[in-house]
Structure 1
Amino acid sequence: MEFDVESWREELVSYREQKDEQFEVPHSSPLGPEGRKEFDGIEYFEPDPDYRVETTVELDGSDETVAMETTADGEQLYERTARLHFEVPNASGEPTEGTLVGYTRVDQDEGSLFVPFRDKTTGQQTYPAGRYIELHYEGALDDGETFPLDFNLAYNPFCAYAAAYECPLPPRENWLEIAIPAGERYEE
């Protein structure tokens, strides 16, 4: 199936508008009453279809539990589920290979991968603790399976907006040596 850039862009803009609306509603917002009053929308990089890439799944059969440190000096347990291999443009526009690990929360059902990551925008244009992507899939993942990985959907954890939240920090294996100028930005 061919990728329709205009439809994708419209869906992304609509998704971002809906997220901004959720941030204004008390029960779905990480912001307190004062923060909601001052809120004028999440900062984003411009939508860029070059950062919606095809990823190839390499299943991790180790059943290893990973204890991710959190922003509140705690830890949360995840299982390493798959390595996701992809190519993104580097600073000069040339394709560069990257790999991120997708995790499943211990005691969570299949169907979703949690992909926390840092890149060369971290702490400069994006949240200093890293960003997240959630990938949803039907059934079981297969080795060699491919599907879209859209960095335009990369988001800041709730702890970027309120210290009351405890958010997992991306493990070292998910620190990319390239910039991913896509998704949510962060300005203090």
Structure 2
Amino acid sequence: MTETTPEDGFDPEEWREQLRAHRDEKDDFFADHPQSPIPPAERDDFESLDYFDPDPDYRVTASVEVHERPDPVEMEVSESVPQRYLRVATLRFELGDREDADSYELAGYRQQEDDDGLFVPFRDKTTGQQTYRDGRYMEFETEGDLEDGGEIVLDFNLAYSPFCAYSETFACPLAPEENWLDVEILAGEKA
């Protein structure tokens, strides 16, 4: 997971290097780790995952609306029974040129109210074409409690396919309809 506190001194070159290191580490995990979702018989042929080129335009600051009484959400799951999550926040952000930016929102979930992380499954207009057919995920650590009116960074360059994209032995939550974006997110992992 990645920390999501907005920072004043964003350095694009340092960010690209951190993203490259993150992707290299993930590729190593997929190639060699016993818990890799790549079936063992296919690991010798695995070279790396396919990614969109890093693009800082898909690293956006989102305003946070905290839900004091989180709504329970039953998420459909591939190959399994639905799982219960709590909708703890709504994240509002803009994509596009500043003059012509469109506004979007995603719900952030936790399985328990006191979890530290935020789970953000989503689908977009690349889903089923350039990216995995059932959508992608982002996960973020939050520093302390989420604050209503606060901000966090959503870096879609860190969007990834769930393990069920690589093996049917995994069951993965599917992004609920409220997290289906009517825009192409040309960032993160490809199919």
TM-score, normalised by the number of residues in structure 1 = 0.93
CA distance in structure 1 between the partners assigned to 2:70 and 2:120 by the alignment: 17
- Shift of the alpha carbon at 1:83? 0.2
Q: Does 1:115 align with 2:120?
A: yes
- Shift of the alpha carbon at 1:89? 2.1
Deviations 1:29-88 (A, max 9, x none): 111211211211000000000000001100123332111001114211100000001111
In structure 1, the partner of 2:42 is 35
In structure 1, the partner of 2:78 is 71
Q: Work out whether residues 69 and 75 of structure 1, in 8 Å CA contact, stay in contact via their aligned partners in 2.
A: yes
Deviations 1:103-143 (A, max 9, x none): 0013x642100000000000010000000000111211100
Q: What RMSD, in angstroms, separates the aligned Cα atoms of the two structures?
A: 1.5
In structure 1, the partner of 2:19 is 12
- Shift of the alpha carbon at 1:28? 3.1
Q: Does 1:89 align with 2:86?
A: no
In structure 1, the partner of 2:4 is none
Identity %: 49
RCO higher in structure (CA 8 A, sep ≥6): 2
Secondary structure of the structure 1 residue equivalent to 2:70: coil
- Return 5+ residue gaps in structure 1 as ranges: none
In structure 2, the partner of 1:102 is 108
In structure 2, the partner of 1:49 is 56
Runs of 4+ in 1 over 4 A off after TM superposition: none
Secondary structure of the structure 2 residue equivalent to 1:163: coil
User: Aligned runs of 1:100-179 on 2, under 5 Å?
Assistant: 100-106=106-112, 109-179=114-184
- Return 5+ residue gaps in structure 2 as ranges: 1-7
- Shift of the alpha carbon at 1:178? 0.6
